[in-house]
Each structure stands twice: as structure tokens, then as C-alpha cells.
């Protein structure tokens, strides 16, 4: 608030009435009261009140906040306790004053999560919990939206009975959205009808949970309880109230919510057979959206998977292998960096699904007369080109660096450091540093030369689709590893050379420390790529392995 830019006549709006009707009064008393409330300085506040008895009810910010609004939001508990006592004696209704955003001080306390401050105000004015703030929200709903568990627990019994049915479901879903699952369970236990209620977005609590990661034990309990409540409803009400309840399964599959899915299937195993509107199972959808955690469940259902794999999309005749041949959405594709590694992951999906289906399905045609392999080639044509370009550029850059290293260490190997008269034929006579130089220089030369050969084999590859599955990533992984070894050993050889040429001292020690900088820089710049290649190349062998039984 820039007070100096206003004059005495225009500064005070109709909401900034007594006691600060002039700018000078506001500067002398309003701003100090604002600062005192922020600091929780009750002594300063009482001095201001001695000069202006009504200052605690005055609006002292552009947002129309009183001292109680400011102290409540700042979490100044002791200040609020004394301020509430004084304000309640003067006029209890002043505790319910709203700022320009229609928020009372309790609304701001609920937003900050300070239960003790909220309790002090409610003890003096028990109607405060039902005075709505910005957007018509109660303090309880504000606390739920911000995930303040203890505040919600405190305000819930004070507010619930005065809310409408629409506000009940909105509050219930808010606790789910902010991971207050224990409170959600308590609400559901008292009000089971909320299991099939819909919010303003026409979503039930189960639809909301289907999109969330269930990382807490209470979340799985909530899913089970909600599903049981749905099944306990009368059959004639399910279709009307739930409106195709099985669809939420496929919502969970699309976002990869395996915890939600396994919780439901364990409670109701028959869900495995449910199909969407296009006659696709949950595993068809998992393949289309590249959700490997969900697809891994197929290995736990035994022979059922052979029957499910025969289902064909009735809209276009695509079987599950056709779906593996489709290019996924960019958000799933971009989970892996580098077009070549993306192509590798796509090939892996196709091969895994191909091993799952019957041989005749691999040759089946859809309505466009395309087999799964034909569809894969068409859909991934551009990605294969991008992968080839990415792989060539990476190999070219790395091979150039490896060539420079090989040149340097080869030249160094021709001459013994610090010895102009003797050839390097008896390293034992020259100490450990000569041995270190000889070994590290040799390793650097060998590893850099080997990496050049690996990158050369990448550049001369045919870049067929199958090459992206194992051959190219493995060569890149080996080449990058050898390049890192060559850089590290080259700097070790350099450090050994310094110790041979100079006596031990600050120069040799400082140089040894500085020699670590290129190694660190390379690790920082290239290690993420190397780790990604390792993860894609070695980890692909375990991507679709069932690590433990999740269903039965």
C-alpha cells in the first residue's frame, strides 16, 4: 500500500471510516497497528487503542482487513487471544467483520490451519463457522481445500449439520483431493449415501479416486469402502445413480492408477472381464496408454489373459497387438528422453504383446486391412527417423571427443614424463607415480579407442526397427561408459605427470584437485543420458516382470 500517492480527501474509501478518516491519522496509527498485528506485539496495539478506542474494528489494509484478520493469518496466537477478548467485550459482531474478499478472520485462520486461533474465536462467537467467505465457502471447506487436517477435524462437527447436500459431496470430495483420506472414511461411515453422490462435475468419489495415486493405506481402505457401498445399493438405483460405474475402471487404467485398480479387483474379481464401449478390456486400454504397471497384472490372471487377448475393438477391428502398434500420446512418449530410447520402448511394448497373443492375431487385419506390424511401421515412421538422427548426432559428438582423447594419450605414451634421456623401460625404478601414469594412460588409450569403434558401429548401422530394441542402445551404453573411463583415466595420467615433474607441494595437490573438474563436468552433463540408456537397455528386461502378486 503506497499511502503517499493518495491525498487526504481520496485516500479513505467508504470502507475505511472511523477512526482513521484522514491520511495523517492512518499513517500515525493505522500502519503501526498493522505492523503490531503482524509481529504479535500486544503492547504496541494497546497503546494505539488508548488513542483510538475503535481501531480494532477499523479496516487497515486495501483488502479491508482488520487487525484480527492480519493476526489470524499471521498465526499470532497470543495476540489473537487478547484481541478477541477485547473485541468481544466492545462488540461481539466485530469478530464477524469481513474484508473486501468477503472473508472473516475465522476464514483466514482456517486457511492458515491454526486450530488454536480458530478455537479462541469460535468460543466467543459460535456462529462464526457458518459465516461464509469468498466464493460462498465455509471456513471448513477452505481448510479442506488447503489440506489442513486438524482444522477440518475441529470445524467438521460445528459445520456439517448446517450444510446442504451439494455442499456435503463437495466437502467430501475436497478431502479426497487433498489426501485427507482418514477424514473421508469418517465422513463416509456416518453418511454412506455419499458413495454414489455426484459433484458439480458429475463425478462420484470413486471417479475422483480413479485419477489419484493411492499412496496411503487409508486411500485403499476408502476405495474398498466406497465400492462396497456402491454394491450395497439397490440394483435399480445403480444404473441411475452411477451411470455406467465400470467406466471409472478405464479412467484409472488411462492414468496408471494401479493401486485403485488392484483394490477394486481384489474386492470384486469379476471386474477383470469388464469391457468398455469399444469392447476392450482393461489390458487393451493399458496397452494403448502404455501403462506397464497395469499391464503387468496380465501375468497374474493365468489363462484368462488368452481369452481377453482375443477381444477386438468393434470400431476399427484393432486387436490388442494393433493397439501396441499405435503411437501413444506425447505425454506418455515423453516419459523417456531421446527419440531413440522412445523407439526402443515402443519396440519393447510391441514385442511383449506379440509374445502374449496367439500367432493368428499377429497376422490379423483391422478394418483398414493393416496387420499389427504394418500399423506399427506406419505409425512409428517419423519416430524412427528422429531416433536415427538423434543416435547419429550423439555418436558423432562422442566419437569426436574420444578421438581427441586418444590422440592426447597416445602422444603422452611415447615419452616418459619428466625424463628426457631414458626410455620408459623400467617403471619400477621410477616410483609409484610412473606406474600410475603408465596404467592410466594405457587404460585411457584403450578405452577411448574402443569407444571410437563403438560409436563408429552406431554410425554405420542400418537403423532398422529391431536395431532400436537392443543393438543400438547397447552400443551407445558401452560407448558412453568407455568414454567416461577414458576421460577419468586421462586426468589421472595427467595428475601422475604433475607429481613426476614437480616435487610434492601445493602445485601438485592443487593440480590434482583441478583435474577432477573435467570428470565432474562430464558426469554432470552426460550421466543423466548414460543412466537413461542403462535404465532403458538393462531395465527393459524387467519392465514387464511381475515383481510380486498384487491381485490374488
Cα-to-chain-centroid distance, residue 410: 48
Among 78-82, 274-278, 503-507, 537-541, the range with the most confident prediction by mean pLDDT is: 78-82
Q: How far apart are CA 11 and CA 5, in angstroms?
A: 9
Query: Which has the closest alpha carbon to 37: 82, 90, 94?
Result: 82
pLDDT score of 6: 39
The CA-atom distances, in angstroms, between 418 and each of 438, 503, 550 are 13, 11, 66
Average pLDDT of the residues in 438-446: 92
Tell me which of 142-146, 212-216, 506-510 is least confident. Answer: 506-510
Cell representation of residue 429: 625404478
Tell me which of 130-139, 357-366, 370-379, 541-550 is least confident. Answer: 541-550
User: Is the separation of the CB atoms in 85 and 120 below 8 Å?
Assistant: no
Dihedral sign for Cα 52, 54, 55, 56, please. Answer: positive
pLDDT score of 12: 40
How many Cβ atoms from other residues are within 10 Å of residue 369's Cβ? 8
pLDDT score of 107: 95
User: Is the separation of the CB atoms in 486 and 479 below 8 Å?
Assistant: no
Average pLDDT of the residues in 263-291: 88
Among 157, 173, 188, residue at a domain's last position: 157
SS3 assignment, position 70: helix
SS3 assignment, position 363: coil
Q: How confident is the model at residue 504 (pLDDT cuts 50, 70, 90)?
A: low
User: Is the separation of the CB atoms in 532 and 337 below 8 Å?
Assistant: yes
* pLDDT surpassing 60 at residue 539: yes
How many Cβ atoms from other residues are within 10 Å of residue 15's Cβ? 12
Q: How far apart are CA 232 and CA 78, in angstroms?
A: 50
Among 106, 122, 157, residue at a domain's last position: 157
DSSP per residue over 230-251, as a string? Answer: HHHS-HHHHHHHHSSTTHHHHH
Cell representation of residue 2: 503506497
Give burial (CB, 10 Å; 0-12/13-18/19+) of 51: exposed
Among 132, 157, 182, residue at a domain's last position: 157
Q: How confident is the model at residue 517 (pLDDT cuts 50, 70, 90)?
A: confident
Q: How far apart are CA 29 and CA 364, in angstroms?
A: 84
Q: How far apart are CA 428 and CA 363, in angstroms?
A: 68
Place of cell 478455537: 119
pLDDT score of 501: 73
Burial 179-203 (b: 16+ CB within 10 A, else e): bbbbbbbebbeeebebbbbbbeeeb
Q: How far apart are CA 483 and CA 236, in angstroms?
A: 68
Q: Report if residue 323 sits inside a domain.
A: no
Q: Report if residue 444 sits inside a domain.
A: yes
* pLDDT surpassing 90 at residue 532: no
H-assigned helices in 268-314: 282-288, 292-295, 304-308
Q: Report if residue 182 sits inside a domain.
A: no
Q: How far apart are CA 325 and CA 323, in angstroms?
A: 5
Q: Report if residue 430 sits inside a domain.
A: yes
Residue 104: CATH number of its domain: 1.25.40.20
Residue 402: CATH number of its domain: 1.20.120
Cβ contacts of 449 within 8 Å, gap of 6 or more: 402, 406
Q: Report if residue 245 sits inside a domain.
A: no
Q: How far apart are CA 86 and CA 80, in angstroms?
A: 10
Q: Report if residue 549 sits inside a domain.
A: no
Cell representation of residue 196: 454414489
Q: Report if residue 519 sits inside a domain.
A: yes
H-assigned helices in 91-163: 105-112, 115-124, 139-145, 149-159
Q: How far apart are CA 129 and CA 137, in angstroms?
A: 10
Residue-wise pLDDT tens digits, 126-179: 999 999 999 999 999 999 999 999 999 999 999 999 999 999 999 999 999 999
Greater model confidence, 57 or 515: 57
Domain that holds residue 147: 1-157
Cβ contacts of 331 within 8 Å, gap of 6 or more: none
Q: Report if residue 312 sits inside a domain.
A: no
Residue-wise pLDDT tens digits, 289-305: 999 889 988 888 878 88
Cβ contacts of 319 within 8 Å, gap of 6 or more: 309, 310, 311, 312, 313, 357, 361, 364, 366, 372
Average pLDDT of the residues in 427-441: 74
Greater model confidence, 262 or 130: 130
How many Cβ atoms from other residues are within 10 Å of residue 279's Cβ? 12
Place of cell 483510538: 52
- How much is the mean pLDDT over the chain? 84
Q: Residues in the chain, how many? A: 552
Residue-wise pLDDT tens digits, 58-103: 888 888 889 999 999 998 999 999 999 998 887 888 899 999 999 9
State how many domains the chain has. Answer: 2
Q: How far apart are CA 282 and CA 247, in angstroms?
A: 10
Cell representation of residue 319: 486387436
DSSP state of 377: H
pLDDT score of 20: 53
Asked if omega into 19 is within 30° of 0 (cis), the reply is yes
Amino acid at each position: 500500500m503506497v499511502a503517499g500517492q493518495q491525498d487526504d480527501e481520496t485516500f479513505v474509501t467508504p470502507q475505511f471510516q472511523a477512526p482513521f478518516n484522514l491520511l495523517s491519522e492512518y499513517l500515525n496509527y493505522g500502519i503501526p497497528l498493522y505492523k503490531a498485528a503482524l509481529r504479535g506485539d500486544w503492547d504496541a496495539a494497546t497503546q494505539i487503542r488508548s488513542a483510538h478506542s475503535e481501531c480494532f474494528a477499523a479496516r487497515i489494509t486495501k483488502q479491508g482487513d482488520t487487525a484480527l484478520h492480519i493476526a489470524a493469518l499471521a498465526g499470532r496466537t497470543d495476540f489473537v487471544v487478547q484481541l478477541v477478548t477485547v473485541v468481544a467485550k466492545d462488540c461481539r459482531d466485530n469478530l464477524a467483520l469481513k474484508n473486501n474478499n468477503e472473508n472473516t478472520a475465522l476464514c483466514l485462520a482456517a486457511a492458515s490451519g491454526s486450530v488454536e486461533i480458530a478455537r479462541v474465536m469460535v468460543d466467543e462467537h459460535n456462529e462464526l463457522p457458518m459465516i461464509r467467505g469468498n466464493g460462498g465457502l465455509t471456513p471448513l471447506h477452505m481448510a479442506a481445500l488447503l489440506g489442513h487436517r486438524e482444522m477440518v477435524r475441529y470445524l467438521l462437527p460445528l459445520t456439517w449439520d448446517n450444510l446442504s447436500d451439494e455442499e456435503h459431496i463437495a466437502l467430501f470430495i475436497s478431502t479426497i483431493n487433498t489426501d485427507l483420506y482418514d477424514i473421508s472414511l469418517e465422513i463416509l461411515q456416518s453418511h454412506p449415501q455419499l458413495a454414489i453422490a455426484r459433484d458439480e462435475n458429475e463425478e462420484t468419489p470413486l471417479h475422483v479416486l480413479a485419477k489419484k495415486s493411492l499412496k496411503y493405506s487409508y486411500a485403499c481402505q476408502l476405495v474398498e469402502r466406497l465400492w462396497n457401498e456402491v454394491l450395497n445399493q439397490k440394483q435399480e438405483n445403480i444404473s441411475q445413480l452411477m451411470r455406467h460405474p465400470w467406466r471409472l475402471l478405464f479412467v484409472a487404467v488411462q492414468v496408471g492408477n494401479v493401486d485403485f485398480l488392484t483394490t477394486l479387483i481384489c474386492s470384486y474379481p469379476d471386474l477383470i472381464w469388464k469391457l468398455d464401449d469399444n469392447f476392450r478390456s482393461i489390458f487393451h486400454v493399458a496397452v494403448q496408454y502404455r501403462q506397464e504397471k497395469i499391464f503387468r497384472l496380465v501375468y497374474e490372471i493365468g489363462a484368462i489373459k488368452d481369452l481377453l487377448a482375443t477381444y477386438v475393438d468393434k470400431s476399427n477391428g484393432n486387436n490388442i497387438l494393433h493397439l501396441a502398434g499405435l503411437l501413444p500420446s506425447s505425454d506418455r512418449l515423453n516419459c523417456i528422453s531421446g527419440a531413440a530410447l522412445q523407439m526402443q520402448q515402443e519396440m519393447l511394448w510391441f514385442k511383449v504383446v506379440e509374445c502374449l497373443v496367439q500367432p493368428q492375431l499377429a497376422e490379423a487385419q483391422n478394418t483398414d486391412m493393416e496387420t499389427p506390424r504394418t500399423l506399427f511401421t506406419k505409425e512409428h515412421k517419423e519416430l524412427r527417423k528422429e531416433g536415427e538422427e538423434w543416435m547419429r548426432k550423439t555418436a558423432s559428438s562422442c566419437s569426436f571427443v574420444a578421438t581427441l582423447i586418444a590422440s592426447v594419450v597416445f602422444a603422452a605414451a611415447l615419452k616418459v614424463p619428466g625424463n628426457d634421456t631414458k626410455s620408459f623401460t623400467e617403471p619400477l625404478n621410477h616410483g609409484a607415480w610412473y606406474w600410475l601414469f603408465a596404467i592410466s594412460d594405457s587404460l585411457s588409450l584403450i578405452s577411448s579407442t574402443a569407444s571410437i569403434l563403438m560409436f563408429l558401429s552406431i554410425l554405420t548401422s542400418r537403423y532398422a526397427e529391431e536395431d532400436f530394441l537392443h543393438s543400438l542402445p547397447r552400443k551407445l551404453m558401452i560407448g558412453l561408459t568407455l568414454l567416461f573411463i577414458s576421460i577419468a583415466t586421462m586426468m589421472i595420467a595427467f595428475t601422475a605427470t604433475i607429481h613426476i615433474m614437480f616435487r610434492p607441494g601445493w602445485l601438485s595437490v592443487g593440480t590434482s584437485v583441478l583435474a577432477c573438474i573435467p570428470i565432474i563436468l562430464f558426469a554432470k552433463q552426460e550421466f543423466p543420458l548414460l543412466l537413461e540408456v542403462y535404465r532403458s537397455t538393462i531395465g527393459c528386461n524387467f519392465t514387464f516382470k511381475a515383481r510380486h502378486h498384487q491381485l490374488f
